[in-house]
Structure 1
């Protein structure tokens, strides 16, 4: 080998080392990104399950409130009838 060929071989070897190092760095960065995306997916799934559970509990509470609410229309009608009866009694007593 002549001197220029040896110099080229050394530079090619140095270039190969640099490329291999950079590929290893990229591979490591991709592995970190994959791990973070998996964690994020797990967190989103857990949040979805918790949210659906909370929504179910709220629906149950709303249904219980609907069942236990006062029948305002019936109370209004009874109040009106009682007022009319009281007025009629007061009118006839005089």
Structure 2
């Protein structure tokens, strides 16, 4: 009977090693979750600022269109009054 070689070789991983690694992983995940929860306020603040900028910019294209129409009217009136 031929047995397969141990893939880990002489390395021995105990249940305690697995438990310690799991505790470290759990602590790391908890820290990351804690850091992520603080970003919600920042995201909301940025969203509010972007919306305010968008509201402030909408008159610019409208104003440009009105000036163009006014220039066209002045040009047409100038041509017809000659």
If the TM-score is normalised by the length of the shorter chain, which range does it land in? 0.5 to 0.7
Matches within 5 A, 1:38-57: 38-57=30-49
* CA deviation after TM superposition for structure 1 residue 26, in Å: 2.1
Cα root mean square deviation, aligned: 2.2
- Between the aligned partners of 1:57 and 1:83, the Cα distance in structure 2 is 41
Query: After superposition, what is the alpha-carbon deviation per residue over 1:38-64, rounded to whole angstroms, capped at 9, x for unaligned?
Result: 112122222333223212211111112
Structure 1 segments of 4+ aligned residues over 6 angstroms from their partners: none
* CA deviation after TM superposition for structure 1 residue 35, in Å: 0.6
- Greater share of residues in helix: 1
When the two structures are aligned, how many residues end up with a matched partner?
69
Which 5+ residue runs of structure 1 have no aligned equivalent? 1-20
Which 5+ residue runs of structure 2 have no aligned equivalent? 1-12
- The TM-score, its normalising length taken from structure 1, stands at 0.58
